[in-house]
Each structure stands twice: as structure tokens, then as C-alpha cells.
């Protein structure tokens, strides 16, 4: 709670509040059966829910985060319309002179690994130009404010690299979906869905927080979705034809589940 995860140059992520944990998921799932017993243990039940897409019990766990990120990250972030958001208003408050400046290593990500000294100096100049542009934009913004131009109009000269802040409340099921779309654990810095790579750093911080509060649920989510793979019908048929599934090193129960999933006897 309230631990600040420093992200990028001026950003952060903090957990402000949360409701529920692994036990809440289990209780929410078991109430479906009232007084009738469920044979599965708590860990097995959570794994069953996540693996089979029974998401309602996961929605009983809710998190509220305080996020600070560049506007271009925020706008991608808010495309996830399954959360409740309250953002700093540029109509009611003055913008702060806080801008995101990419590292030089990120600016040269599209160049070859054998970049020359000339290319390196060019990147340094580009970085300086970004900072000068940000400074000039903020000076123009201040001039407009000092000329009694309304804040909601003055802000139009500020670039997307300006930092903004918001409160973000989301349930566990939709948080897992957010992490799945925004973070590819088996990739380098790139992110799926064409989202900015900067969001990857925020997704990593979210994982650090979530795995502390719902470790059982997170382990299952990581196993089946972050590091697991889904196959098309054609791919499944090809796998069945190529393998003798009876030779797989799995216990009998898991092997039966796999065969059932693949639709074979």
C-alpha cells in the first residue's frame, strides 16, 4: 500500500487501496454451490476458474491505483474501458513543467546496431531538440495563462510528452486482461497491440503489486495466459497427428484434462 514504483524519468505507480484477495475469489466461487461441498482445494479451484474463463469470482477483487505517466501513455491506457478513472483536469489546475524525455537508447531503436559516431551525435542533437521544444511549449503555455486565456484553451500548446496523473480502479479479471495485452513476457521491450513500449514498465509494476495480493490467482494467470499458448483447430489437429500424447510426462488427471481439451479419447 502506497509504495511508489518509480517509472520512466518522472512517472510512478502506487496502490492506493484494494478489496479482496485469493480467499475472496474462493468464497465468491463457492457460494454458487451454497452448502454443497466442492471437492477442489482452494488453489485448484482458482486454477480451474482462470483456466476455463469463469471470471465472475475474480471481479470480486478490486484495486485502486494512482498513476503518473506521459499523456500519450495515458491515452493508450484509457482505451481499456473496463475501469473507473478520475484524471487531473487541465481546466481546473495549472499544468506542471514535467515532460517525458526518451532515453537515447530508445531513440536509436530503429537504427542498426553498428551505429556510427555521426549517428550517435545526431541522436544527441535530437534529444536536445525534444527538450527545447518542450521548454518552448511550456513558456508559450505560461504566456497564455498570464494573458488571462482560460486554462482549458491554454493547454492546447502542450505536447503529448507532458505528464498527467489519474486514479484507476479496476477489478482483477480486467486487470489480468490489461496485463495480458500490454506485456509480453517472452519478448524484449516490445509490447503487443502496438501500445507504447513505455507502458511495459507500468505493466511490470502492476505485476509486482498483484502477485503480492493474489499470489495463487496470479500464478495461474501467468501459467495459462502470460506464458501459456492457445492453439487453433488446425494446430491442434497437427499436434495430435504428430505426437503420442500417452508419452507425455504428465500425471493421469492432467493428461485426461489435456485430452478432453484437445477433443480426443
Q: Is 34 annotated as a binding residue?
A: no
Decide if 178 contacts 80 (C-beta within 8 A).
yes
What is the rounded distance in angstroms from the CA atom of residue 116 to the CA atom of residue 122? 10
Closest CA to 155 of 101, 95, 100: 95
Mapping DSSP to helix (H, G, I), strand (E, B) and coil, where does residue 214 land?
A: coil
Q: Is 144 annotated as a binding residue?
A: no
Q: Is 233 annotated as a binding residue?
A: no
Decide if 43 contacts 241 (C-beta within 8 A).
no
Closest CA to 89 of 150, 43, 30: 150
Residue 131 has a pLDDT of 95
In the chain, the largest separation of any two C-alpha atoms, in whole Å, equals 78
Q: Is 166 annotated as a binding residue?
A: no
User: Strand 62-70 relative to strand 4-7: parallel, antiparallel, unpaired?
Assistant: unpaired
Beta strands in 189-252 (DSSP E): none
Q: Is 132 annotated as a binding residue?
A: no
Closest CA to 136 of 54, 259, 144: 144
Decide if 169 contacts 82 (C-beta within 8 A).
no
Residue 104 has a pLDDT of 78
Q: Is 155 annotated as a binding residue?
A: yes
Q: Is 177 annotated as a binding residue?
A: yes
Q: What is the CA radius of gyration of the chain?
A: 24
Q: Domain limits of the chain?
A: 1-100+161-230, 102-159, 233-264
Q: Is 136 annotated as a binding residue?
A: no
Residue 187 has a pLDDT of 43
B/e letters for 243-257, b = 16+ CB within 10 Å, e = fewer, are eeeeeeeeeeeeeee
- 1-100+161-230 is classed CATH 3.40.50.10880: no
Closest CA to 65 of 193, 240, 202: 202
Neighbours of 37 (CB within 10 A): 7
Digit-coded pLDDT (tens) for 159-181: 999 999 999 999 999 999 999 98
Q: Is 249 annotated as a binding residue?
A: no
What is the rounded distance in angstroms from the CA atom of residue 79 to the CA atom of residue 83? 10
Residue 119 has a pLDDT of 64
Residue 190 has a pLDDT of 36
Q: What parts of the chain have a pLDDT lower than 50?
A: 186-194
What is the rounded distance in angstroms from the CA atom of residue 183 to the CA atom of residue 19? 24
Residue 205 has a pLDDT of 95
Residue 118 has a pLDDT of 61
Question: Which residues are known to be catalytic?
Answer: 182
Closest CA to 142 of 131, 129, 158, 130: 158
What is the rounded distance in angstroms from the CA atom of residue 184 to the CA atom of residue 199? 11
Amino acid at each position: 500500500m502506497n509504495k511508489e514504483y518509480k517509472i520512466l524519468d518522472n512517472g510512478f505507480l502506487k496502490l492506493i487501496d484494494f478489496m479482496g484477495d485469493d480467499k475472496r475469489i474462493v468464497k465468491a466461487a463457492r457460494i454458487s454451490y451454497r452448502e454443497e461441498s466442492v471437492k477442489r482445494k482452494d488453489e485448484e479451484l482458482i486454477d480451474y476458474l482462470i483456466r476455463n474463463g469463469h471470471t465472475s469470482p475474480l471481479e470480486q477483487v478490486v484495486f485502486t491505483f494512482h498513476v503518473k505517466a506521459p499523456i500519450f501513455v495515458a491515452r493508450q491506457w484509457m482505451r481499456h474501458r473496463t475501469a473507473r478513472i478520475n484524471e487531473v483536469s487541465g481546466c481546473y489546475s495549472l499544468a506542471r513543467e514535467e515532460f517525458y524525455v526518451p532515453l537515447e537508447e530508445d531513440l536509436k531503436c530503429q537504427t542498426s546496431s553498428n551505429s556510427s559516431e555521426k549517428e550517435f551525435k545526431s541522436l544527441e542533437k535530437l534529444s536536445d531538440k525534444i527538450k527545447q521544444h518542450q521548454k518552448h511549449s511550456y513558456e508559450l503555455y505560461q504566456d497564455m495563462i498570464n494573458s488571462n486565456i482560460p486554462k482549458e484553451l491554454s493547454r492546447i500548446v502542450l505536447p503529448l510528452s507532458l505528464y498527467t496523473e489519474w486514479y484507476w480502479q479496476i477489478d482483477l479479471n480486467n486487470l489480468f486482461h490489461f496485463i495480458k495485452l500490454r506485456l509480453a513476457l517472452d519478448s524484449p521491450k516490445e509490447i503487443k497491440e502496438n501500445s507504447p513500449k513505455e507502458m511495459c514498465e507500468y505493466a511490470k509494476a502492476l505485476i509486482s503489486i498483484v502477485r503480492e495480493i493474489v499470489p495463487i490467482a496470479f500464478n495461474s494467470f501467468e501459467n495459462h495466459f502470460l506464458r501459456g499458448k492457445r492453439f487453433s483447430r488446425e494446430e491442434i489437429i497437427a499436434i495430435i497427428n504428430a505426437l503420442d500424447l500417452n508419452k507425455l510426462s504428465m500425471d493421469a488427471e492432467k493428461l485426461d484434462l489435456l485430452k478432453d481439451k484437445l477433443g480426443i479419447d
